[in-house]
A = this chain, B = another copy of it.
Amino acid sequence: MDLTEDGPSTAPEFESWVGDFTDAGFFAWMSVFKAEILVAGALDRDLKERVGVPLNWCEVLSRLSAAPGARMRMQELADEVLLSKSGVSQLVTAMARKGLVERQGDPANLRVTYAALTPVGRTTLEKSAPVFLGGIRELFSRHLTDSEIRTVTRAMNKVISATGREPENPDRPRPL
């Protein structure tokens, strides 16, 4: 914990640096924490019920479809969906069992494995994407003004960057 730098909303100097369960930053965090869990949960139930595919799978399908050749290295995929290497390995195994993705080796570099979208996977993506996007709108963005959407995005992207990860890049969108 570095106490020498001051952020934008640091408490006055005569207060403890720790803050307490009553400060505004704490409630802001709690609001993000709860909103994410509730919306992601509802989204996941929706997708399972209406398309038979969990939120995670939907994310993977959408990322693969946006990648060149509709495929990605396991490592890279793990990074994008915020899963561990082993997590992605198991996930891809499960999705492959359903025929949505396919493992492909690279003859030029025998160390890497690609996860590749199959035609069935693409069809499933086309079915799930409207539910996914509609859910995000109904559960989340519908309740915010354009200005709030901009502020929230900017604020959360700063938080993401501070962890050393890349925020989502709107200039590299995911076409359907």
Q: Are B156 and A34 in contact (CB under 8 A)?
A: yes
| A48 CB within 8 Å of chain B | no
Nearest CB of B to A16, in Å: 9
Prevailing SS type, chain A contact patch: helix
Chain B CB within 10 Å, residue with most, of A30, A40, A62, A176: A30
- How many Å lie between the Cα of A167 and that of B35 in the bound state? 9
Q: Are A167 and B31 in contact (CB under 8 A)?
A: yes
Q: Are B133 and A38 in contact (CB under 8 A)?
A: no
What residues of B have a CB within 8 angstroms of the CB of A167 in the complex?
31, 34
What residues of B have a CB within 8 angstroms of the CB of A136 in the complex?
19, 25-26, 29
Chain B CB within 10 Å, residue with most, of A26, A42, A138, A174: A26
- How many Å lie between the Cα of A151 and that of B148 in the bound state? 7
Q: How large is the interface on A (under 10, 10 to 19, 20 to 34, 35 or more residues)?
A: 35 or more
Knowing that A17-B137, A29-B39 touch, tell me 18 more A-B residue pairs with CB under 8 angstroms: A1-B134, A1-B138, A7-B141, A8-B145, A10-B142, A21-B129, A21-B133, A24-B150, A25-B144, A31-B156, A34-B156, A35-B157, A38-B82, A139-B162, A144-B155, A144-B159, A148-B155, A152-B152
**Chain A contacts to B: CB under 8 angstroms:** 1-2, 7-10, 17-40, 42, 62, 66, 82, 129-130, 133-134, 136-146, 148-160, 162-163, 165, 167-168, 170, 173-176
